[in-house]
Amino acid sequence: MRWFKLQRSGELISGYRSRDGARWVLASQTRLPLPKSLWCGVAAAGLTDARTHSAVFEHVAVARRFPSPYRVQAELRSGSMVEAPGLDFDEEVLRFHGTQSRPAVRREHLARLLFQPVPGRLEPRLRLGQPGVLVTSGDFLEGEVRGLADGWILLDSVLSGARRLDVINQVTAVVLWPATRGRAPYEIRMRDGSIWRATSAAISGHALRIQEPLLGECELPLPDLLSFEAPAR
């Protein structure tokens, strides 16, 4: 079984393929002078006249954007990892979507953003902290990331100038600064996958009030708490 996606942005036509419907690879791109509106469909064809073939199309859909099954992970320079359904950021601050328990994060506190699982062989490359974008093809585009809005990464690339990259189909990770792996006195794991590192923690009503090294005081709902590691006494 294979998954395929076709995306149009003006005259640029991009084709993507996947083995699991979650991780996508850019297969080909071309430019065609097409009208603003056109009819399109799906078809299958055999490679030779000597063999018969059959194909079944499932889950065919037309959408403005393809939904991603992978939640966004924002890694702070302190080592905390915050998961959320989505986010936007500009040259000053990052804001999370869909939750009230996530504080805004200043840009200088952000190490990287993960939009898809990073292959193990590429992890050391990201740990260097060189600013840029890791795209789904495995290439790393060095440059300054200006922001993320409406599903598009704005990148000033060293080699190709200003670019817009589709977060869902083209971007695996964004790197802004190196991350540290120093162990904080408290490590709090949440049910949504977030990992908070804190210098202090105390229960206050229905929340756990922590002091995050970069963000300061944050409140985490107790029902969302998965595990809590405190210093040995």
What are the tens digits of pLDDT across the range 122-178?
Answer: 888 888 888 999 988 888 999 999 888 877 889 998 777 888 888 877 888 999 988
Whether 67 maps to a domain, the answer reads: no
Is residue 183 within 8 Å of residue 172, measured between CB atoms?
A: no
Same domain, yes or no: 6 and 42: yes
Whether 204 maps to a domain, the answer reads: yes
Single pTM value for the model: 0.67
Rounded to whole angstroms, the Cα distance separating 175 from 129 reads 6
Query: Quick one: pLDDT at residue 81?
Result: 92
Q: What is the pLDDT of residues 215-227, one digit of tens each?
A: 999 999 999 999 9
Closest CA to 170 of 152, 157, 149: 152
Among 32-36, 44-48, 86-90, name the one with the lowest average pLDDT: 44-48
Question: Which of the four pLDDT bands, split at 50, 70 and 90, describes residue 210?
Answer: very high
pLDDT at 183 over 80: no
Whether 156 maps to a domain, the answer reads: yes
Same domain, yes or no: 109 and 146: yes
Query: Quick one: pLDDT at residue 170?
Result: 84
Whether 205 maps to a domain, the answer reads: yes
What value does the mean pLDDT take over residues 61-76? 67
Query: Quick one: pLDDT at residue 13?
Result: 85
Query: Quick one: pLDDT at residue 131?
Result: 92
pLDDT at 67 over 70: no
Whether 142 maps to a domain, the answer reads: yes
Domain boundary at 175, 195, 218, which? 175
Same domain, yes or no: 171 and 92: yes
Judge residue 84's burial from the number of C-beta atoms within 10 Å of its C-beta, 0-12 exposed, 13-18 middle, 19 or more buried.
Answer: buried
For the beta carbon of residue 111, count every other beta carbon within 10 angstroms.
22
Query: Quick one: pLDDT at residue 195?
Result: 92
213: domain range? 186-229
Most confident of 36-45, 55-64, 84-93, 102-111: 102-111
Same domain, yes or no: 24 and 116: no
Structural domains of the chain, count: 3
Q: What is the pLDDT of residues 1-14, one digit of tens each?
A: 567 788 888 888 88
pLDDT at 98 over 90: no
Same domain, yes or no: 101 and 166: yes
Same domain, yes or no: 93 and 143: yes
Secondary structure string (H, E, C) spanning the chain: CCEEEEEEECCEEEEEEECCCCCCEEEEEEECCCCCCCCCCCCCCCCCCCCCCCCCCCCCCCCCCCCCCCCEEEEECCCCEEEECCEEECCCEEEECCCCCCCCEEHHHEEEEECCCCCHHHHHHHHCCCCEEEECCCCEEEEEEEEEECCEEEEEECCCEEEEEEHHHHEEEEECCCCCCCCCCEEEEECCCCEEEECEEEEECCEEEEEECCCEEEEEEHHHEEEEECCCC
For the beta carbon of residue 202, count every other beta carbon within 10 angstroms.
9
Same domain, yes or no: 143 and 56: no
Is residue 67 within 8 Å of residue 21, measured between CB atoms?
A: no
Whether 181 maps to a domain, the answer reads: no
Same domain, yes or no: 51 and 108: no
Rounded to whole angstroms, the Cα distance separating 196 from 210 reads 9
